[in-house]
Amino acid sequence: MANDLTEDSPIRKQFLSRLVDDVAKGNITFEQAIRVAGVSYMGGGAEFGEFIKSLYAGKGAGIDAKGNAEFESVRVRSYFECLELIINRLSAIEGDQLLTEADTIDSVDDLGDNCYGLHLRSKWDGYFTAQAVGNVLKGIINTLASGSGKYYTCWLRVNSVNTANNYIEVTAYPDEDTPAGKNYAPCEAMKIARWGNQTDTKRQSCIYLSSTEGRIVRLTGVTKPIVEASNYGATFGTLPEFLREMDLPIVEGQDYVYARGLIVQDIIRIDYQGRPISEVIDRGQWDATANYYCEAINPDTGRYEISDVWYMGCKWRCAKTGTKTAPAWNNTDWAMVEGNPQFTVEFADTDYIFDPDRFALTLTIIARLYNMDITDDILPADVQWTRYSEDAKGNERVASDNAWALKRANAGKSIDLTIADCDLNGYMPRTLKFIATVTLRDGQGREAGTESAIFEY
């Protein structure tokens, strides 16, 4: 009931002062609005509504002590200024988007004779249109969402331009000169963009993104609404119809790049499994100090490479990256791809005149494969010596030849012949042949080839 309390009264601690600075030690709830005449200071931040912090599932609003804010939406009446703008949302387009000079029609004047005056919207203070005389314009209107039901494309040619007033006069193309075979009049709110130009070559190209066609296109040399095959400078995505009609080996449903010219530093091709497709590179003569590759990247060129080399007149393909061994028929690091693949056998230095009184001859086989001497790879047991001879009357001496073959069966790769090996029996044989039959075996002991060498008198 007291009208006043002493300054040290404990009752004063139960109330907040409206006259001097004070601090409330607990939470205060206002059932009505609160107005602050000065600046509000919130050291720990502020929350509005039931604040749940999340970019996708959050609600309410909040500002933390560092000034980071999160809320539902914002509307700015004059301008929005920031150091960095991060948009966490996809931007989608419908139909076609042209990357050329474009305007929006504010109003249309019907000038008669299929001609129209277009008042263009100013995009900002001091804006003026970049349209030029002779421009071929593509106009699109789509107001289906607003309920007006307008959705069509029109084609126009610019006759004159009043830059100061953002005003152009145009003529609509006849129906038969448009891609759809039907043209429409321009209208308010229609977007128009340069498609090409009738005479100015610098204005006859454009780039457009089409979600309906499924491709990005650069057009060149465009002088009218309907484009021809020669107007396609480059495309990415679905191939244009004129390319699909060429019966090219394209894969249906896949994207392709089409361009008149291509300048690149590296081309990395991959197969359907995503593995790089290597390029066969002819590296010339085999060099023991060089590095060769099998479906691996060559660090010197940056290309995936399969190395080919030439050795002993044959071309060999690398089958093991980093190999330093020379190509050979039994070397799995290399595969022969070009040259003479034949296995041949001959005798060394066989020029000899038969002299029965001083007959002494050594026959030594020389085996070759891929033009290489592989005699050292032949096993002595794989050389079979036989003899074929005929008596003076021309009858084959089977028994004598078989006896000789059994006697000299283990001669190996070289055989020394004397007059006893001829079995003259008092006469000169009409025919006398010494034959070496050589078997070539692979690395697993299997027969890979058989050839013979014949020495005949």
| Residues 26-65: tens digit of each pLDDT | 888 888 888 988 898 888 899 988 989 887 778 899 999 9
CB 158 within 8 A of CB 170: yes
pLDDT above 80 (res 350)? no
pLDDT score of 89: 54
Q: Which helix (H) or strand (E) holds 400?
A: helix 398-407
CB 383 within 8 A of CB 413: yes
pLDDT score of 298: 92
CB 168 within 8 A of CB 178: no
Long-range contacts of 47-55 (CB under 8 A, 24+ apart): 55/88
Question: What does 56-105 look like in DSSP terms, one character per residue?
Answer: TT-EEEEEETT--EE-S----SS----S-----S-----SEEE-S-EEEE
* Residue 119 to residue 303: CA distance in whole angstroms: 57
pLDDT above 70 (res 90)? no
pLDDT per position as a tens digit, 406-421: 999 889 999 998 888 8
Evaluate the CA torsion angle 65, 68, 71, 77 in order and state its sign.
Answer: positive
Rounded to two decimals, the pTM is 0.51
pLDDT score of 131: 94
Q: Residues of the chain with pLDDT > 90: what percent?
A: 45
* Residue 274 to residue 152: CA distance in whole angstroms: 43
Mean pLDDT score of the chain: 87
pLDDT score of 144: 54
pLDDT score of 94: 60
- Bridge partners of 75, per DSSP, are none
Non-local CB neighbours of 324 within 8 Å, separated by 6+ positions: 288
DSSP-derived pairing of the beta strands 279-285 and 276-277: unpaired
pLDDT score of 207: 93
* Residue 233 to residue 257: CA distance in whole angstroms: 11
Q: How confident is the model at residue 213 (pLDDT cuts 50, 70, 90)?
A: confident
pLDDT score of 260: 86
pLDDT score of 274: 82
